[in-house]
Structures are given as C-alpha cells and as structure tokens.
A = this chain, B = another copy of it.
Amino acid sequence: MHFASDNWAGAHPKIAENLNRHSDGFASAYGTSTLDRTVDETFNTIFEREVAVFFVGTGTAANSLAQAAIGKPGGVTFAHREAHVIDDEGGAPGFLSAGGRLQPVDGPTGRIDINNLKAAIKGFAPGNVHAGQPSGVSITQSTEIGTLYELSDIAAISALCKDNGLPLHMDGARFANALVTLGCTPADMTWRQGIDILSFGGTKNGCWCAEALVFMNPDQAKELPYIRKRSAQLFSKSRFVAAQFEAYFADGLWLELASHANGMARALSEQITASKKLKLAWEPRANEVFAIVSKDNIAGLQASGAIFYEWKPPHNEAKLITENETLIRLVTSFATTQEEVSRFGDLIA
C-alpha cells in the first residue's frame, strides 16, 4: 500500500517505451532537435497560444528559475506560508535567484488569503529600500495539502498582482491533478486567469524526470536561456525529456493518469469517511488525502504494510488535530491500484 508520495512511483509504461523508442539515432543537443521542437509545439497547442518552454531537471529548478526570472534586487515574492518554495526546496529559490526572498502569506486550506496578500504587498512602501521591493506572487495548484484554487480565486489574485505590477507564478508540480478536477483547459487555469509563469510538472504524474518552465508571454523569457544555463539545468541530450513529454501528451495520457490518481484519492477518502479509525482532515480535490488518526493507531497501520508520511499540521488547520492524534498524508498516483486502496480500506474499517 504505497501512499508515501507520487514520486515513489516509476514511469508509466507508455512513457518508458517512448524514451526507449527514441534512444537510437542522432539528434542535435541542448534542446535544438526536431523532437524538442515538436514538443514545444505541443505545448503551444495545449496552451492555445505561443508559449516559451524550458525543460529543467526538477520541480525545484522550475520554481527557482521562475524566481530568478522575476527577481529584482531586494526582491520579495509572496507565497503561502506552507508553500513548497518556502519550506521544502533547501533554499534553492533564494540561492538561484541570487538572494531573492520569499515572504509567507497566511490563509486557510493551503491557499493564500487575498486580504492577507493585499496587506503583505501594502507593507512594502514604494522606494523603501530597507524593506525591499515586491517581485512577484507564487501559488501552488493543486496546493501542498491537496486542495485547489478555483479559477475565480486565481483571477482575483491575478488582478491584485496586475494592480501592483507583480508577475504571478504557478507551481504546477501537480498541475494535471488540479486540471482534471476543475475540468477546464490548461489555458483556462493559467493565462486566461492571469498566470504569467508556470512550473509544469510531469514527474509526479508518470514521467521519470520531465519538468518544464512555461512562460505565457515569450517576451518575458528572453534571459531564461542564460538563467537556465548558469544554473546548470540545460540538458545536453534534451530529447530524453522531450520524449517523455511526447508520450505524456499523446492521446491525452497525462489527463488520464491524473484522473486515475484523483479517482484513487476519492476512493481512499470515501473509505476514510466510512472508517472508525481515521477521519478525513479536509476534502481532497486532487491526489493527496489528509487524514487524522489516533497516535496509537499509526504503528499498526504501518505494520500492516501501509506506507505514508506523518505530516506537520498546517498552521490554520492545526486545531483540527487533538493532542492524541496525528495528521497523515496519503498520496495516490498513476500507479496506485484499486486493490491497494481496498486493502487500506479493509485495514481501517
């Protein structure tokens, strides 16, 4: 019962096979091959406009290079207080943006509260060099705790950003999972609501190593080729990423995989709701399920073969968990089976 993380899965067979299929022959390096360009075109199609796409090696790299792209001297980017860019990337966003800072903004259910964001931006008076200057806003979709920003939420944050001349970045490590729940198009979930830069993750949804930084307006990406190179993120055999994305997008595989993962999460959450041992912490909207469990029950679950992480309760939701309880995170993926979910259901019944 593997619910530790969607990055514990390997690669989907179709993606592995396509990588295999492209392994022979010669192709020009550093992202200039025919296959690279074909995949670039696919991104254009998917986003319904010409975008600028940059493959990088990790989600951390995508997020950090986004910060580097929007960075300003003394710059401060706002993100949710429990955002991955703040807590879980070893300082890479600051390091790779040459000293950019991230300022936490509070909000319930893993989402930035727009009033808090407004206040945070207002805290920086124009020209106050001591405080520094706002450089952007970053949101995570789906969020770190498996919830979602509705399209209208994104539009509202974006409007505030535009008012303040701030670019808006989306950390889309689990972009597809959010997309299939909202049932909208990639364009709808991004630039149509005012997203400027997207970290588009493929790794957690069935690729080996396929992350892309997507600029909705290619003009804003002029320095990115140099930013990527100086950060050692330009692959020589770039087509190994392109080949993964080719299969990922073919026949809507990526949406199918995300739907499957989300479906498994829903199934899990139903079993938790029905369970006497676990409580659902909040409604899952993507492929992460958070449950509250008595501390006494943790060891038993693990001994029975359930693999998951205990999770630090989010600041705003901490009150949901009593002293004798703990929060656990269960993540599903393309590789999660109904059988695993059912076994877990039996375990907690």
Q: Which B residues touch A72, using CB under 8 A?
A: 223, 226
Most buried by B among A15, A64, A227: A227
Residues 125 to 165 of chain A near chain B (Cβ within 8 Å):
127, 129-133
Contact A23 B28 (CB under 8 A): no
Q: How many copies are assembled?
A: 4
Nearest CB in chain B to that of A63: its residue? B232
Residues of A in contact, count (CB < 8 Å)? 81
- A24-B29 contact given A130-B89, A230-B91, A230-B95, CB 8 Å threshold: no
A60 to B72, CA, bound (A): 19
**A167 lies within 8 A of chain B by Cβ:** no
A74-B226, A90-B129, A236-B59 as given contacts; A28 in contact with B4, CB under 8 Å = yes
* Chain B residues in 8 Å Cβ range of A25: 10
Which residue of the partner chain, among B23, B29, B92, B335, contacts A229 with CB atoms under 8 Å? B92
With A131-B87, A231-B231: A8-B22 Cβ-Cβ less than 8 Å: no
Task: Tell me the A8-48 residues at the B interface (CB within 8 Å).
Answer: 8-13, 15-17, 19-20, 22-30
Cβ contacts under 8 Å, A92 to chain B: 229-232
B-facing residues in A81-114 (Cβ within 8 Å):
87-92, 94-96, 98-101
Bound Cα distance A23, B18 (Å): 12
- What are the residues of chain B within 8 A of A88 when measuring CB–CB? 130-131
Chain B residues within 8 Å of A22, by CB: 10
The reply to whether B237 and A10 contact each other, CB–CB distance below 8 Å, is: yes
